[in-house]
């Protein structure tokens, strides 16, 4: 009888804690969404520090108290472990989200048996993106596969509601009969023959927004770490060979 009572009490306590946590998450979500129109909350989870939740919203990672009153905007560092917990969380989020993008929705330049793979959010009108692409053969010779996702720097729509030039060019490259050749040509500054078709450009731009991309090129390693913008082949090789988390930057 006593054992059954203990089990019943434990079950009740667990159920109460689950309801309380659910209510806290709703409170936190509502508090963040109330900060401004158009704020999209992608995830709410308990933070490593007591009394706070970790929130990813509109490309930012913040910490909000369980009562929805206080918000911390900055990287959370474990001083004892000397670890940037925010950077680790961002890396895990990026890795998980990128894994959902199939190879068929990427523009891939790869050696036969790559040792490493990087994902690059790029824009065909971006000068540094063009400089980076000049090294594509050397990246491949180093055993690094490069998988491009489109991130038009001008966004998707102009203020008048039409498609931006950078979005239109990205779509035209994707819809070209020879996609990789069209991309290579566009990255030299050559004009792109207009074309339309079903394409991933809008989805990839919005994915970049959720992952905190705010410029091009943005290079991410297999671990979800952000390497940075333009890098030389030597710098990229060093970055992909670094331990997980060492290259990560907070959102």
**What does residue 44 show for φ and ψ, rounded to 5 degrees?**
-135, 125
Give the mean pLDDT of 168-176.
Answer: 98
Give the mean pLDDT of 188-208.
Answer: 96
Task: Give the per-residue pLDDT at 21.
Answer: 61
Q: pLDDT confidence of 38, banded at 50, 70, 90?
A: confident
Level-2 CATH architecture, domain 101-240: 3-Layer(aba) Sandwich (3.40)
The total number of residues shown for the chain amounts to: 251
Give CA 162 to chain center in angstroms: 26
Give the mean pLDDT of 211-229.
Answer: 93
Domain 2-81 CATH (choose: 3.40.50.2300, 3.10.450.70, 3.30.300.30, 1.10.287.3510): 3.10.450.70
What is the Cα–Cα distance from 53 to 241, expressed in whole angstroms?
Answer: 33
Sort residue 217 into left (φ over 0), alpha (ψ -120 to 50) or beta: beta
Q: pLDDT confidence of 16, banded at 50, 70, 90?
A: very low
Residues of the chain with CATH 3.10.450.70: 2-81
Which residue from 250, 202, 246 is spatially nearest to 221, judged by alpha carbons? 246
Q: Which pTM was predicted?
A: 0.84
Which residue from 155, 159, 154, 153 is spatially nearest to 217, judged by alpha carbons? 153
Cβ contacts of residue 160 below 8 Å, gap of 6+? Answer: none
């Amino acid at each position: 009888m006593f054992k059954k009572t203990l089990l019943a009490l434990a079950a009740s306590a667990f159920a109460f804690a689950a309801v309380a946590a659910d209510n806290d998450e709703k409170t936190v979500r509502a508090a963040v969404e109330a900060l401004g129109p158009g704020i999209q909350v992608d995830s709410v989870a308990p933070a490593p520090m007591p009394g706070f939740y970790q929130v990813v919203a509109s490309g930012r990672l913040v910490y909000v108290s369980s009562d929805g009153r206080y918000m911390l905007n900055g990287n959370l560092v474990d001083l004892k472990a000397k670890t940037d917990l925010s950077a680790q969380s961002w890396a895990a989020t990026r890795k998980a989200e990128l894994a959902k993008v199939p190879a068929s929705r990427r523009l891939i330049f790869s050696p036969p048996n790559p040792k490493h793979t990087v994902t690059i959010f790029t824009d065909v009108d971006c000068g540094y993106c063009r400089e980076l692409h000049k090294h594509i053969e050397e990246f491949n010779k180093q055993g690094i596969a490069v998988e491009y996702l489109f991130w038009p720097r001008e966004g998707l729509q102009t203020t008048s509601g039409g498609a931006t030039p950078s979005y239109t060019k990205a779509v035209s490259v994707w819809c070209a009969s020879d996609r990789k050749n069209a991309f290579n040509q566009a990255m030299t500054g050559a004009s792109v023959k207009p074309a339309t078709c079903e394409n991933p450009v809008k989805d990839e731009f919005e994915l970049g927004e959720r992952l905190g991309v705010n410029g091009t090129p943005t290079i991410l390693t297999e671990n979800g770490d952000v390497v940075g913008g333009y890098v030389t082949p030597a710098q990229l090789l060093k970055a992909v060979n670094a331990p997980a988390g060492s290259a990560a930057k907070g959102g």
